[in-house]
Each structure stands twice: as structure tokens, then as C-alpha cells.
Amino acid sequence: MTSIRDVAKEAGVGVGTVSRALNGTGYVSPSTRKKIEKAARKLNYTPNELARNLYRNRSGIVGVIVPDLDHPFFSCLVKHVEMEFYRQGYKTMVCNAVGISDREQEYLDMLERNIVDGIITGSHCLDGEEYLRQEKPIVSIDRDFGPEIPIVGSDHAMGGRLAAELMIQNKCRKVLQISGVAPNILANDRYVTFQKLLEEAHVEVVCVETDWNVFQWEAFYRTAHDILDKYPDIDGIFTGDLGAAACMNVAQQRGIRIPEDLCVVGFDATNITRMVYPHITAVRQNVELLAEVAVNTLLDQIEQRKRVLHRQILDVDIQYGGTTGRADIHEHL
């Protein structure tokens, strides 16, 4: 069986140099690193990952907690998070909380027992105190636990402003906003900003609150029917992508024209917005960048690479579709 000494001999360097190169624990010049990697490939040498992680006092595994993988935003987020962790030499364990706090608690317990080196959480089921009592690295997506836990998220206030401007540009007079309210969630800024700007423009705003952690299609579909039954005179809807698709579907069944009679704006701009017709105009979160920043913020803590910022908020923009005015132009953008 090939050992690290064999690799060192083949590459013509010391054992310590091979160890630093393969474990990433110190500086090795690019030319020397290339020689070592070539020697390792030639000898079919595979580092002992368990021994390496024991030496570092790490497992090499990170946990990612999301509310529900059925939701296209969270499935896309997990995809990019896993890819970025893998690129940087870590494996990912995913917790699909599905609205159950016990599942979320079990993954936090793994952190305490050193099974995972750190956690990225985008779930909101568990009481914040359970996170705050943890001593190991945690990064939160969109939920503000306070200064002890770094938060990475999108600029929801900006998203609310962009959506409100679209409604005003389309001359909407009565707009309905569907929201899921939870404490200390960045999305609350979106709801408040959207309502404030429209009311300042003398547009009537109807706010409908739904359960925060419910992501099943049937629930969105029922809500869409209830909304259009109760508010048949609305001419604009702003909600998440799944809710937007459900409302558009029900509206079209009732002969309501999109966007002539009803403007629809989603939030997230996930793939579902491009799989329906007309394509849904939506506020777009940069999920790939969100994942990259969250991963690096966690690894900066785990590996003590650098001091991390408490709050990192990323810009959003508009993905134009055909559910707001000037569809003939937007569909080609």
C-alpha cells in the first residue's frame, strides 16, 4: 500500500512538504505542489481522510438545514451550497426540516457532538435560543439571530421596492400581497416596503398572511382560489413564485387576462417562473452568489481564515416576463 513517504520519495521532497500540499495546511510553491500531485496520481495514493480530519479536529462534513426541499428556491440553494462545499473539500449533509422542529434540533445536536463542523441554516422552525447556545460555527440565511450568528441574505427591501414600482408603472389600483410573517426574518422588510410605497402612491393594498413554513402546491392553490373569490376586483398580485404561478393558473381558468386584467409579480425567479405561460415577472435572488457567500462565511469561521462580517446583504433585480405590462418587450429580454 502506497504511503506518504513513497509520494515524498517519488516527488523528491520531504514528507512534511507532501503533508502540507495534500492537506492544505501551509505554503507550498505551485511547481512543488504540481510535482507532488503528479507523484500521488502516478502511485495511486489516496490520503487517509479520517486521519487527516482527526488531526485537524474536524469531520470534513457540514450541515445545511432548509425548511422544505419541495420548494424550488431551497432545492436550488442546496444544489449550489453543496457544489461550493465540495469544491473546497467538504461533504454536505442536508436536513429537510419540513416544518418539524425536532428534525432541525437533531442536526444542531450533531454540531454539538462534532459530527459536523458547522451549519448553514435557512429554516425557521426552531426557537432561536437553540442556535444561540451553540459554540460551533453557524451561518443563517435570511433569519437574524443577533450579532452572535452571521447572516447572509438578499436585499428584501430592495425587492419590495422593485415590485411596487412595477405595480405603479402598470397603473394598478388595488394590489394584493401574500406574505408569510415570522419574527426576525429579512422578508418582513419586503412586505413593509412594498405596502408603504404603494400606499404613498395612493394604491390600495390588501395583505393576506399565510403559514410561514407551508410550501405544498395544494396550499398555494387553495389560497389562490380563496383570494380571487374574496377580492375579485384586484388588478395586481405580489407573492413568492409558487403562489404567483398558482394565482395565475386560477385566474386564467376564470377568464382573467394576464397581464391586461391582472398583473402578477413573483419573488425568487426560480425555474417555475419560466415553465408557465406567460413567463412570470419576478424579483430575482442571486442564489448562486448567496450560496457562495454563505459557504465562505462558514468556512472562514471553521478554518479561522479571516474575521467574518455579521451581516451580508446581496442585491436583487427583476427578471421580466409576460405577467406585467409590455410583455412583447420583456419576453425577449
How confident is the model over 168-181, as pLDDT tens digits?
Answer: 999 999 999 998 76
Instruction: Compute the distance between CA of residue 63 and CA of residue 115 in angstroms, rounded to an integer.
Output: 9
Instruction: Compute the distance between CA of residue 291 and CA of residue 46 in angstroms, rounded to an integer.
Output: 29
Comparing 76-80, 107-111, 161-165, 287-291, which segment has the lowest mean pLDDT?
Answer: 107-111
Res 54 pLDDT > 50: no
* 296 Cα distance to chain centroid: 14
Instruction: Compute the distance between CA of residue 264 and CA of residue 4 in angstroms, rounded to an integer.
Output: 61
Sheet containing 263-268: give its strands across.
Answer: 204-209, 174-179, 236-238, 263-268, 281-284, 317-319
Instruction: Compute the distance between CA of residue 199 and CA of residue 235 in angstroms, rounded to an integer.
Output: 15
How confident is the model over 186-231, as pLDDT tens digits?
Answer: 999 999 999 999 999 999 999 998 876 667 778 889 999 999 999 9
* Superfamily of domain 156-286+318-330, CATH level 4: Response regulator (3.40.50.2300)
Q: What percent of the chain has pLDDT over 90?
A: 60
Q: Where in the chain is the domain with CATH 3.40.50.2300?
A: 59-153+287-314, 156-286+318-330
CATH 3.40.50.2300 for the 59-153+287-314 domain, yes or no: yes
Instruction: Compute the distance between CA of residue 151 and CA of residue 139 in angstroms, rounded to an integer.
Output: 6
Q: How many residues does the chain have?
A: 333
Predicted pLDDT at 151: 97
Average pLDDT, the chain: 88
Sequence letter at residue 180: G
Instruction: Compute the distance between CA of residue 244 and CA of residue 273 in angstroms, rounded to an integer.
Output: 8
- Specify the CATH class of 4-47 in words: mainly alpha
Q: Where in the chain is the domain with CATH 1.10.260.40?
A: 4-47
Burial (Cβ within 10 Å: 0-12, 13-18, ≥19) of residue 182: middle
Q: Are 93 and 64 in contact (CB under 8 A)?
A: yes
Task: Tell me which residue of 321, 298, 250, 13 sits closest to 141, measured CA to CA.
Answer: 298
How confident is the model over 286-331, as pLDDT tens digits?
Answer: 999 999 999 999 999 998 888 899 999 999 999 999 999 854 344 4
Instruction: Compute the distance between CA of residue 47 and CA of residue 93 in angstroms, rounded to an integer.
Output: 22
Q: What is the mean pLDDT of residues 106-121?
A: 83
Q: Are 151 and 143 in contact (CB under 8 A)?
A: yes
Beta-ladder partners of 28: none
Comparing 48-52, 252-256, 279-283, which segment has the lowest mean pLDDT?
Answer: 48-52
